[in-house]
Chains A and B, each alone.
Chain A
Amino acid sequence: MDANTFLIQVLNGIQYGLLLFLVASGLTLILGIMGIINLAHGSFYMVGAYLAFSLSQYFGSLWLALIGGVAIAVVIGVALEWLLISRLYHRDHLYQVLLTYGLILMFEELRSVVFGDDVHGVAVPQLLRASIPLTATLSYPVYRLWMSAVCLVLAAGMYLLIQKTRLGMMIRAGAANREMVQSLGININLLYRLVFALGVALAAFAGMIAAPVASVFPGMGNQVLIICFVVVVIGGIGSVKGAMLAAILIGLVDTFGKVLTLEIGGVELLPQLSGMMIYVLMAAVLLVRPEGLFGKRA
């Protein structure tokens, strides 16, 4: 592997990791702050991708589709929290798992009813269609760089929101002690609704910007969900910093697992078993630190 290919793979890995971070950060926030395990989180990623597909056809522009899509995602998030999720705060995790599993079935089947089961593509916007040439044969698409940049901006924005604003302070306090925050006169229900909607919007946004490079297909949400679980387990529940580190780690491991070849005793291990790599990583982390890299010790 020469230096240019290596560079491209590193960029791809980081870009994939940053995208995972957008989905996983919402998942980890909802888990850490609200104590809700949300299996339907991957469905929001899928909803985002299909919104990008349909709205960009409707508006003729991905930019307008992004704005419209985020608005729709926030509405979906608020409605779901209000109608269903808010009834689960005092119930066992088991029921959270089941209800959100039911939601997955509904989202997945609604997708099938509305869009069918075909794979769709979304065009890269005109503005970002260029590629940066690296050598005579290799080049790197600008759109992917833009994706990474957007993810980084959002990550920084989230850091500022949670650590530096009054709202973020209330969210952190709500995670630490729900009753105390409530008795101080803060509307915790509204706060939770905001956090949930933020998580949904982040996941949907990730799906929307991923649509032009990853295409839009059935089952895409579940694939992302399980990888995001691995991210959250490695990073530690509720830790946005942990999610960032774990997401990039997984992005790189997954990308290099697919391009490297490894044979032991004549048996091809990579790339054939590349799908397993991230789980091996997770197993290793569990052995050393069962609470995740940045998790609080139980």
Chain B
Amino acid sequence: MRQSRLGTAMLLLCLLALALLPLFAEKYYIQLFTKMMIMAIFAMSLDLLVGVTGLVSLGHAAFFGLAGYVLAFAAPQYQAANLWLSLPLAMACSGLLALAIGALVLRTSGIYFIMVTLAFAQMVYFVFHDTKIAGGADGIYVYAKPVASIAGWEPFTLENHIHFYFVVLLLLVLVYTALRMLLASLFGRVIVGIRVNEQRMKSLGYRTFRYKLVCFVLAGALAGMAGYFAAAQFGFVSPETLGWHESGSVLMMVILGGMGTLTGAVVGAFAMMLLELGFQGLPEVAGLDIGKHWQLLMGAFIVCAVLLLPHGLLGLTRLASRWRRKPAEAAE
């Protein structure tokens, strides 16, 4: 997808704002934005599947949650895990799980694919929910944040919320850039081609199954990266992080922002989390505590968004600019 000059300028402006945020924001907001950026990485990883390759996965949280559990295992009790070892380990575990699940689910397509990804993610959920390996339904604590020491030298510490913020911001930029480069490469062209017309790609001689599997594993590993930092920040992992509510809400982020654009996934993640926070802060009206029952509003919002915003939030800007330039073109 080609970026307009205006779009690039906007992107850089947003990046600048994010980089300057810790200078004037309170701790609470810094942590909030850290969480939003983590979710943005998660949403981008799903966008690679849903928006780019056309694989609607409803079980993406399995890879997100698994990486959190890997961190919890790597940091037993009060012993902190080493970032440089545990992060690649967590991402590798998520990637391996994605390889195993992907090899099965990619045999199906369309409606089947949606149902089967959901079902396998639920299987992973039950493994952590029903067995005692990691605290069962109660979840497990990550007592200490991972340390980033290389042979005694510590370039930064994740216990410091500002350091944590900049690490996540750096990763967000890295993941975004890497995915952009991937999309511009031949591989990226092939997977976009698979979404548009898989039969055509097959007849051109591409083994589409392999491409889709690589995509699935890559998306799983990136979701693992997000899940790792989410667990490190929150200090707690429960089976709910693998659950389908998580998968559903990240899917909503991707669609709300606008699919297949990566930028849309980031915008969607920020918008969804701010919306959630806004709904939770609502007061009691006529004896009904709306803030407590915010999911009611979220559900209604999702229904309305599907009916009224077919191209997501970014679609709105596109619509506005097209309408401004040439109303006749928009009508066509």
A99 in contact with B104 given A37-B114, A109-B299, A229-B115 (CB within 8 Å): no
Mostly, the A contact residues are helix
Q: Which residues of A contact B248 (CB under 8 A)?
A: 101, 104
The answer for the CA separation of A237 and B288 in the assembled complex, in Å, is 41
Q: Is B108 an interface residue (CB 8 A)?
A: yes
The answer for the CA separation of A98 and B255 in the assembled complex, in Å, is 9
Choice from A102, A113, A275, A283 contacting B104 with Cβ under 8 Å: A283
Please, which residue of chain A has its CB at the minimum distance from the CB of B254?
A94
Within 8 A of B (CB), among A165-181: none
Does the CB pair A233–B295 fall under 8 Å?
no
Q: Which residues of B contact A58 (CB under 8 A)?
A: none
Choice from A94, A101, A226, A272 contacting B131 with Cβ under 8 Å: A272
Q: Is A31 an interface residue (CB 8 A)?
A: yes
A97 in contact with B104 given A113-B288, A279-B123 (CB within 8 Å): no
Q: Is A297 an interface residue (CB 8 A)?
A: no
Does the CB pair B104–A93 fall under 8 Å?
no
Does the CB pair A104–B299 fall under 8 Å?
yes
Does the CB pair B56–A229 fall under 8 Å?
no
Q: Which residues of B contact A272 (CB under 8 A)?
A: 130-131
The answer for the CA separation of A298 and B111 in the assembled complex, in Å, is 12
A84 in contact with B303 given A101-B252, A105-B296 (CB within 8 Å): yes
- With most chain A CB atoms within 10 A of its CB, the pick from B120, B123, B298, B300 is B123
A290 in contact with B130 given A87-B307, A97-B251 (CB within 8 Å): no
Does the CB pair A106–B296 fall under 8 Å?
yes
The answer for the CA separation of A110 and B107 in the assembled complex, in Å, is 38
Please, which residue of chain B has its CB at the minimum distance from the CB of A92?
B56
Please, which residue of chain A has its CB at the minimum distance from the CB of B252?
A98
For the complex formed, measure the closest distance between the CB of B51 and the CB atoms of chain A, giving whole angstroms.
10
Does the CB pair A108–B131 fall under 8 Å?
no
A287 in contact with B115 given A98-B252, A98-B302, A101-B248 (CB within 8 Å): no
Choice from A232, A233, A273 contacting B130 with Cβ under 8 Å: A273
The answer for the CA separation of A103 and B301 in the assembled complex, in Å, is 10
Q: Is B129 an interface residue (CB 8 A)?
A: yes
Q: Which interface class (under 10, 10 to 19, 20 to 34, 35 or more) fits A?
A: 35 or more
Within 8 A of A (CB), among B106-142: 107-112, 114-116, 118-120, 122-123, 126-127, 129-131
Within 8 A of B (CB), among A9-67: 31, 35, 37
Does the CB pair B107–A97 fall under 8 Å?
no
Choice from A35, A229, A273, A290 contacting B127 with Cβ under 8 Å: A273
Q: Which residues of A contact B129 (CB under 8 A)?
A: 275
Does the CB pair A93–B114 fall under 8 Å?
yes
Within 8 A of B (CB), among A100-130: 101-110, 112-113
A93 in contact with B303 given A226-B118, A279-B123 (CB within 8 Å): no
The answer for the CA separation of A95 and B56 in the assembled complex, in Å, is 10
Does the CB pair A226–B122 fall under 8 Å?
yes
Choice from A87, A94, A102, A287 contacting B300 with Cβ under 8 Å: A102
Choice from A99, A279, A290 contacting B120 with Cβ under 8 Å: A279
Choice from A102, A274, A292 contacting B306 with Cβ under 8 Å: A102
Q: Is A247 an interface residue (CB 8 A)?
A: no
A102 in contact with B302 given A93-B111, A276-B127 (CB within 8 Å): yes
The answer for the CA separation of A188 and B130 in the assembled complex, in Å, is 45
Q: Which residues of B contact A232 (CB under 8 A)?
A: 115
Q: Which residues of A contact B127 (CB under 8 A)?
A: 273, 275-276
The answer for the CA separation of A91 and B307 in the assembled complex, in Å, is 10
Q: Is A158 an interface residue (CB 8 A)?
A: no
Query: Which 7 residue pairs spanning A and B have beta carbons closest together?
Result: A102-B302, A105-B299, A106-B299, A275-B126, A279-B123, A109-B296, A102-B303
A interface residue numbers (CB < 8 A to B) = 31, 35, 37, 84, 87, 91, 93-95, 97-99, 101-110, 112-113, 222, 226, 229-230, 232-233, 237, 272-276, 279, 282-283, 286-287, 290-292, 298
Q: Given contacts A273-B131, A290-B108, could you give 7 more A-B pairs where the C-beta distance is less than 8 Å?
A: A98-B305, A99-B302, A108-B295, A109-B293, A233-B119, A283-B120, A286-B108
A-B contact pairs, 14 of them (CB 8 A): A98-B302, A105-B295, A105-B299, A105-B302, A109-B293, A109-B295, A112-B293, A113-B293, A113-B296, A275-B127, A275-B129, A276-B127, A291-B112, A292-B112
